[in-house]
Amino acid sequence: MRNTFAKTFLEAAQKDARLCVVVADISPAGAMDQFRKEFPERFINTGVAEQIMIGMCAGMSMRGLKPFAYTIATFALYRPFEFIRDDLCYQDLPVTVVGIGGGVTYSTLGGTHHAMEDVAIASAIPNMRVIAPCDPEETRAATQWCVAQEEGPVYLRLGKAGEPLITQNAKPFAFGKVRLLREGRDVCILGYGPVLKLGMDAAVALEKRGISVAVASVHTLKPLDREGIVPLLASFPKVVVMEEMVPHGGLGNTVKALAWESGARCRIDCLSLQDEFIHSYGNHDEILRAHGISFDRVVQLVSA
């Protein structure tokens, strides 16, 4: 996802001289390095200083440029939070804050590097839009939307690298619209981010057992596609929401509220990170499992 973002951004920046990147001491790999070489003035490294990363983006945007702030999600969003709120959101500036390693992607680096609450925090700010694509192709489409938009601030939550494709058979990405990745009749899985791969795997496995599972990417968390989600809650007897985020302030709670408001009768189960700092290390899958998110658990919830 990181590499796809960089490649897509570079292609756009070659055509739009207003696109800039402000990073806080993160290594510019791949296409980002090429962007830096081609446009040294438009690649700014503030060093280990995230408040000025956001402040500069605000000032550059005010003078007509289109800056992207880019670093590890915890440092992109948490450290300069009040700068994102006041400088970007209060003033409604078209700046994209890119958070790399959303959720517990950086599985060996400990809690300081786990963006477990980012979607809830970003969504809470007026004017902020929140996008969390699930695979490299969806990242490409989301990035293309971000470089083109001029309306206001965006938090773009990405994973790291090497995520598999799961959107091959889906209709094109549309900002603010739920995207059906796989048709089904019995159960509907709603989710966002790379963790949705577990949902796709579970859907394939359960098909052999005669359970037909639909999977939808809710890549735009804010504004949420209420008109797209309500019919799903009405037409499926069972819905499973999965997200690599703490249980509060995320998609699960919102979907339950939507079900209540719309009078839906479906059963809703939610799978999320725990409301807990888990002092455990391992690969990404292993840390997700420590939080209770695994292929087996998804299969169990969907088929229960």
Contact residues: another protein, CB under 8 A:
20, 41-42, 44, 46-47, 49, 51-52, 54-65, 67, 82-83, 86-87, 90-91
Judged by beta carbon, residue 82 or residue 296, the one nearer another protein is 82
DSSP H or E stretch at residue 10: helix 2-15
Q: Which residue's CB is nearer to another protein, number 60 or number 264?
A: 60
| Residue with Cβ nearer another protein (64 or 172) | 64
Question: What is the rounded radius of gyration, in angstroms, for the C-alpha atoms of the chain?
Answer: 19
Phi, psi of 77 (to 5 degrees): -110, -45
Number of other CB atoms surrounding residue 12 within 10 Å:
16
CB 253 within 8 A of CB 229: no
Nearer Cβ to another protein (121/242): 121
Residue 44 beta carbon to another protein: minimum distance, rounded to whole angstroms: 7
41 burial type by CB count under 10 A (0-12 exposed, 13-18 middle, 19+ buried): exposed
Q: Which is nearer to another protein, 60 or 288 (CB)?
A: 60
In the complex, least distance from residue 18 CB atom to another protein, rounded to whole angstroms: 9
Nearest approach, Cβ of residue 193 and another protein (Å) = 30
Q: Which is nearer to another protein, 54 or 202 (CB)?
A: 54
How far apart CA 215 and CA 292 sit, in angstroms, is 20
Least distance in angstroms from the C-beta of 73 to another protein? 20
Shortest spacing between CB 49 and another protein, in angstroms: 4
What is the spatial distance between Cα 238 and Cα 186, in angstroms, rounded to a whole number? 7
Nearer to another protein, 65 or 180 (CB): 65
Phi, psi of 178 (to 5 degrees): -60, 140
Q: How far is the CB of 127 from another protein (least distance, A)?
A: 12
Q: How far is the CB of 269 from another protein (least distance, A)?
A: 41
Q: Which is nearer to another protein, 124 or 204 (CB)?
A: 124
What does 46-86 look like in DSSP terms, one character per residue? --S-HHHHHHHHHHHHHTT-EEEEEEEHIIIIITTHHHIII
Q: Which of 32, 20, 4, 104 is nearest to 63 (CA)?
A: 20
Q: How far is CA 203 from the centre of its chain?
A: 21
Query: Does residue 162 sit in helix, strand or coil?
Result: coil
For residue 267, CA distances in Å to 235, 249, 303 come to 11, 20, 12
Q: How far is the CB of 65 from another protein (least distance, A)?
A: 5
Two tokens, residue 29 = 């790999």
User: Closest by alpha carbon to 45, among 19, 64, 71, 83?
Assistant: 71
